[in-house]
Amino acid sequence: MTRYGEFSGAVAGGCDRLVHPAASEAERPRQRRLVGLLLGAPFLIAGAGVTLVSANIGAAATFAVIFAVLGLSWLAALLVAATGRATAIGVAALAVAAAAVAVIVAAAGGLTSPAAMLFAVLPLEAAWAWRTRKAAALGAIAAVASVALAIFLNASPFAEGAAVSAWHWLLPIAWAATLLMRATDLLGRGVPAQEAKAADGLEAIVPAVVLRIEDSGDVVEVSDRARSMLRLQPELLFGTAFFDRIHIADRVGYLCALADIREGADIRSVEMRLRLPRRNEEQAGDNFQPFALELMREPGGAIVAMLRENDTVAELRDGLARAADAAKAAEMAKSNFLAAVSHELRTPLNAIIGFSDMLLHEMFGPFQEPRQKEYVGIVRDSGQHLLDVVNSILDVSKIESGCYAINPEPFRFRDAVDMCASMMALQAEAKALSISIDVAIGTGEVKADRRAVQQMLINLVSNAVKFTPDGGKVEIGAKRLGSRLHFWVSDTGIGIAEEHLSRLGTPFMQIQNDYTRRFEGTGLGLSLVKGLVALHEGTMSIESAPEEGTKVTISLPVDGPALQSEPTRGELMRLPAGRIKEMRDGSLRKAG
């Protein structure tokens, strides 16, 4: 019985593969049975042709008829698989079968032959395939028509010389044997039928795909719900195909759960991602969807797995994607707004600064009051300060949106340091600060955007001068280590507490709040430096402690960054994960 069950299950699985994919759950069993009949019936007809008809029409004609029957019947099975029109094809097959039975009975000697029992094939097979009264009635009508046709053929020259023989019992007995085997499966005594019934029961209880897995890990059975839930034919998950569709990061958890079940565990649950067919051709990459898998063992049987959609993870992932898109859109809108506003402010500010310079130089006559010249100087200094802020906002916006273009070229790094020191000399003298330069002799040239490097130095030295008390010291140093240039700016200023280090480099962020801070500024200087360093594929680290000063160290590749010829929006600020961690977390550390 076990061997028969395996054979019957294999036959049923083969017929199931020929069912049209669009067939409903109720229609699939009917199409499967019809395909089985269309594939198996020609062998019965061929046997009848060899034993009955060949004596009357000759061997050559008999083989021609056999091949025609086989071809037409198997063509009908393929049409069911390709079109799914089982009803129309079933009716046509029933009509052809009625004619074939009439020919067989007439060739066997007419209604007195045991072959006449084959008339019962038509209603019984129709009822077995469709399981409806209408199908049984249609089969009975076909049987009556077949009887009439057999009587007509028996009276024609076709049946002359036909004699009843004991061999004619072979055909009814062979068909009765096939009917008996199918009745056994129908009554639930076959192994595949039991498994199918159990699978249907589990699917009725929980909305899940039910799988049966051997101890080796091979999937041997998959329920029909895989077609609707996974958009996959069940046979595409047999063997190791199910394991191959599991995300590689989730396979260890699945194998561990499977091993626990083998060792006697009652139940194990695993969250995993499965690679499924893409919903549309426009979807890029692999389509991994979250699922929850519960494993258990049947009493004395195989391992049963219930695969369900993990709605919680799916909702969280969709929500995270929507939030990320919204944040990205908001960030882009902010950058575009700041860039547009900054650009519009530069024109009137340039006019204010230009006319203020003309008035200060008394190009149109002297001032009548000394305070007038003083006020014009304040207007000019305020305009210049505001223009510097606007330029910084514009540069930061360009960097964040990926529109800041750099032009690397070789230059002596010492020249950039000297220029920065000369520019900041007046501000340092006003606070009695000393600016020292410690650039190693072997520093040489570096390939980078000269304007950007100078901007880094100016911003760092400006911050150092701003936050260093009178009489302090600021140092600019540099040295070359292998293929990278390391330069730093250190001061003896107020320093930064450890808990505030992670906030440095954020645009418009000041360590002190608006009510307690003693120093003016927008917080854009360090943010701009951080962005320019990233564009050069460099790193930045900060060492600081309260009342002990601050040291900012930057490392740039001597041979320049590997950038595209033209910047692409949104791509220039993308760094490897390790680089981002170095700039934002691990490199912002407290001295000592």
- Give the pLDDT of residue 516: 40
- Between residues 134 and 278, which one has the greater pLDDT? 134
Distance CA 205, CA 201 (A): 6
* C-alpha span between 58 and 65 (Å, rounded): 11
What's the CA gap between 404 and 411, in Å, rounded?
21
Helix (H) or strand (E) holding 446: strand 445-448
Do residue 8 and residue 126 come from a single domain? yes
Backbone angles phi, psi at 336, to 5 degrees: -65, -40
pLDDT score, position 257: 92
Annotate 2-67 with three-state secondary structure: HHHHHHHHHHHHHHHHCCCCCCCCCHHHHHHHHHHHHHHHHHHHHHHHHHHHHHHHCHHHHHHHHH
Residues 97 and 165 in one domain: yes
C-alpha to C-alpha distance for 552 and 457, rounded to whole angstroms:
10
User: Based on the structure, what is the number of domains in the chain?
Assistant: 4
Better-predicted residue by pLDDT, 422 or 150: 422
Q: Check whether residue 269 and residue 323 sit in a common domain.
A: no
Which residue from 297, 279, 296 is spatially nearest to 288, judged by alpha carbons? Answer: 279
We report the CATH number of the domain holding residue 343 as 1.10.287
pLDDT of res. 340: 75
pLDDT score, position 436: 92
d(CA 31, CA 22): 11
pLDDT tier, 522 (very low <50, low <70, confident <90, very high otherwise): low
Judge whether 175 and 121 are in contact, CB under 8 Å: yes
Are residues 499 and 576 both part of a single domain?
yes
Helix (H, G, I), strand (E, B) or coil at 283: coil
Which residues are within 8 A (CB) of 260 and not within 5 positions of it... i.e. 6 or more apart? 268
Q: Rounded to whole angstroms, what are the CA distances from 139 to 15, 151, 171, 384, 530?
A: 22, 18, 19, 100, 84
Strand partners of residue 542:
552, 588
Mind spelling out the 3-state secondary structure of 327-394? HHHHHHHHHHHHHHHHHHHHHHHHHHHHHHHHHHCCCCCCCCCHHHHHHHHHHHHHHHHHHHHHHHHH
* CATH number of the CATH domain containing 257: 3.30.450.20
Residues 222 and 205 in one domain: yes
pLDDT digits (tens, 9 = 90+) for 79-119: 877 787 888 888 888 888 888 788 777 777 777 777 778 78
Out of 361-375, 387-401, 485-499, least confident range = 387-401
Q: Burial code of 535-561, b = ≥16 C-beta within 10 A, e = fewer?
A: bbbbbbbbbbeeebbbbbbbbbbbebb
> Are 320 and 302 within one domain?
no
Q: Over 80: is that where the pLDDT of 59 sits?
A: no
The answer to whether the predicted template modeling score (pTM) of the entire model surpasses 0.85 is: no
Q: List pLDDT tens digits, range 449-461.
A: 898 898 899 889 9
- 320: Cβ–Cβ under 8 A, 6 or more apart, which residues? none
- When pLDDT is cut at 50, 70 and 90, the band that residue 387 belongs to is confident
Q: According to the model, what pLDDT value does residue 256 have? A: 93
Domain boundary among 146, 162, 189: 189
Q: What is the DSSP letter of 560?
A: -
Residue at 482: amino acid letter: G
Residue ranges making up the domain that contains 205: 193-309
* For residues 309-331, average pLDDT: 78
Same domain, yes or no: 204 and 286: yes
Is 293:237 a contact under the CB 8 Å cutoff? no
Residues 6+ apart with CB under 8 A from 208: 202, 225, 229, 306, 307, 308
pLDDT score at 205: 62
What DSSP element (H or E) covers 572? none
Question: Residue 386: its pLDDT value, please?
Answer: 80
In CATH, what number is assigned to the domain containing residue 566?
3.30.565.10
Alpha-carbon distance of 245 to 111, in angstroms, equals 60
Average pLDDT of the residues in 205-229? 85
Per-residue pLDDT tens over the stretch 17-31? 777 666 666 677 777
Q: Which of 134, 48, 153 is nearest to 90 (CA)?
A: 134
Tokens of 99: 């004619």
Strand pairing report for 539-545 and 588-590: parallel
- Mean of pLDDT values over 246-254: 92
pLDDT of residue 590: 41
> Hey, what are 350's tokens?
């340039």
- Rounded distance, CA 344 to CA 335, Å? 14
Write down the residue that tokens 């549309």 correspond to.
Answer: 280
C-alpha 115/C-alpha 118 separation (Å) is: 6
The answer, yes or no, to whether residue 251 has pLDDT greater than 90, is yes
Q: What pLDDT is stored for residue 50 in this prediction?
A: 59
- Mean local confidence (pLDDT), 478-503: 85
What does the pLDDT read at residue 481? 92
- Mean per-residue pLDDT for 181-201? 49
Reply yes or no on whether the pLDDT at 542 is more than 70: yes
Please state the rounded mean pLDDT for residues 500-507: 64
From residue 435, give the alpha-carbon distance in Å to each of 316, 427, 432: 54, 11, 10
Question: E strands within 392-521?
Answer: 409-412, 434-439, 445-448, 473-481, 484-491
Q: Is the pLDDT of residue 252 over 90?
A: yes
- pLDDT recorded at residue 479: 93
Q: What is the largest CA-CA distance in the chain?
A: 145
CA angle 501, 502, 503 (to 5 degrees): 90
d(Cα 89, Cα 73) in Å, to the nearest integer? 10
Share of the chain above pLDDT 90, in %: 14
What φ, ψ does residue 512 adopt, rounded to 5°?
-90, 150
Whether the pLDDT of residue 586 is over 70: the answer is no
pLDDT of the residue at 583: 39
Shared domain check, 497 and 546: yes
Final residue belonging to a domain, choices 377, 401, 425: 401
pLDDT at 377 over 90: no
pLDDT per residue as tens digits for the range 265-297? 889 999 888 998 877 665 566 788 889 899 998
- C-alpha–C-alpha distance, residues 16 and 21, integer Å: 10
- Whether pLDDT at 202 is above 70: no
Q: What is the pLDDT of residue 375?
A: 87
**What span, in angstroms and rounded, lies between the C-alpha atoms of 33 and 29?**
6
In the listed set 341, 373, 401, which residue is the last one of a domain according to the structure? 401
**Burial class, 325, CB count within 10 angstroms (exposed 0-12 / middle 13-18 / buried 19+):** exposed
- Asked if residue 33 and residue 165 are part of one domain, the reply reads yes
DSSP string, 130-162: H-SHHHHHHHHHHHHHHHHHHHHHHTSGGGTT-
CB atoms within 10 A of CB 162: 20
CA 337 to chain centroid: 34
Residue among 487, 483, 486, 449 at smallest CA distance from 558: 483
Reported as a pLDDT band with limits 50, 70 and 90, residue 311 is confident
Instruction: Report the pLDDT value the prediction gives residue 113, as an integer from 0 to 100.
Output: 74
**Rounded Cα–Cα distance for residues 303 and 294 (Å):** 10
Q: What is the mean pLDDT of the chain?
A: 76
Predicted local confidence at residue 1, as pLDDT: 42
Instruction: Give the burial class of 2: count Cβ atoms within 10 A of its Cβ; 0-12 exposed, 13-18 middle, 19 or more buried.
Output: exposed
Q: Is the pLDDT of residue 467 over 50?
A: yes
Whose tokens are 């076990």? That residue is 2
pLDDT of the residue at 589: 43
How large is the average pLDDT for residues 571-580?
36
Q: Are residues 118 and 207 in the same domain?
A: no
251 and 105 within one domain: no
Report residue 422 as tokens. 């000369």
Q: Does one domain contain both 154 and 213?
A: no
Tokens 């010492």, located at residue: 414
Q: How confident is the model at residue 3 (pLDDT cuts 50, 70, 90)?
A: very low
Residue 62 has pLDDT above 50, yes or no: yes
Query: How confident is the model over 155-172, as a mean pLDDT?
Result: 61
